[in-house]
Amino acid sequence: MPEASLPDLMREMVALPSVREVAVVSTCNRVEFVALADEPEAVEGFIKQRFGLTDEWMARHAYEYGGRDALTHLFRVTSALDSLVLGESQILGQVKNSLSMGLSSGATGTVIGRVFSHAIRTAKRVRTETAIAESAVSISYAAVELARKVFGRIDGRRVLVIGAGKMGALAAKQLVQAGAGQVDICNRSVERAQALAAELGGKAHGFEALAQLLEEADIVISSTGAAGFVVKAELVREVVVRRKYRPLFFIDIAVPRDIDPACDQLQNVYVFDIDDLEKVVDANLSTRRAEAIAGERIVSEEVAQMERWFAEHSVVPTIVELRNHFNATKESEVERILRAHPSLPPEQRELLHRFGNQLVAKLLHGPTVALRSSTASASDQQLMTATSRLFGLHDPGDAHPAGAASEGEQEG
């Protein structure tokens, strides 16, 4: 979904009678609607009508979560535990952007804002306290990882890219970002080599310069569409002698292979092909999956904490009204006594007020603790309802956490 269309879409949704707050997360891989709604089915109905979706389409492609499951899902998504590439970093920025758009459009309020902020905090914990994002899980990142194993440090190393294709360019970009020095592009079409060289800040060459470039390079990335070997063992054997046997590292991303496998038998020459890189990626994905177990534990902890906030947030209006009810009764009785005894000296009047305050505090302590320790379960909702009916307060079902002021705000 185009990002520019999201603010208007969220405003449309939050205008629905049963929808109080909305946020939308839209990426290349998912579109998620997060809503605080009295009637969740209204959200699904809006989505189907707005985008012309059938029940069959929804059953096949959509999912819906509520309550704890919704929190868990959002926290897992934000922590990249639900991503195609486990532990990727892009989704965190996308969720932050969704929160920002929701707030600026006025569609996201107190509750969803708090939930998204908590999800972002959870994701940061997962990235900080686990190694889920540390290992390379793309071919280009794996190439950098293997180069580091050979050289220790990539800083200042000279890179030669044979071919001007996308895969070679990606690997070269990763090496440059890792600190590599000069980049040479060698290609049959010098024009294409020049375009890539301009992008990487390097120099373009034709194939006639290949032998000289191999002599000067430290890291060679090859990704051409040639049918046979582009770099043959005889050429590399001659180059190695002229290099005085300095290490030469080949990354062969081409299928079929560009680099003669026999080169790997030469002294201080290291050849890795696409199969080697995929093995690195698979091993690193296994590492990430192991780290994801720790990430799931963090998500569970944070969801439980979010649920406690919800429970406390939902009982605040009842606690505040109960306290106001007791204080109003206390004030009424104190005033009645003072009217009946107008000659009481100031110190006794003050003592009477202090006694009333202490008595109310003691009487309210038990009910307040019980309400605060409640959860969002049906039995605890019954506790709030019973408290309200017992003391003649409002029905807690009439109010909603999203619209309730905090206890501190109500009490001043």
Phi, psi of 273, deg, nearest 5: -110, -175
Written as one letter, the residue type at 295 is: G
**Three-state DSSP state, 178:** coil
What is the set of active-site residues?
28
Q: What is the pLDDT of residue 72?
A: 96
To which H or E segment does residue 52 belong? none
- The answer to whether residues 272 and 146 touch, using CB atoms and an 8 Å cutoff, is yes
How far, in Å, are 96, 268, 277 from residue 272 at the CA level?
Answer: 39, 13, 7
Spans of the chain, pLDDT less than 70: 135-137, 312, 314-316, 372-381, 394-412
CB 219 within 8 A of CB 180: yes
Identify the DSSP state of 154. -
Instruction: Give all domains of the chain, ordered by start, each with its CATH number.
Output: 3-135 (3.30.460.30), 139-274 (3.40.50.720), 312-411 (no CATH)
274, 258 contact by CB (below 8 A) = no
Q: What is the pLDDT of residue 136?
A: 61
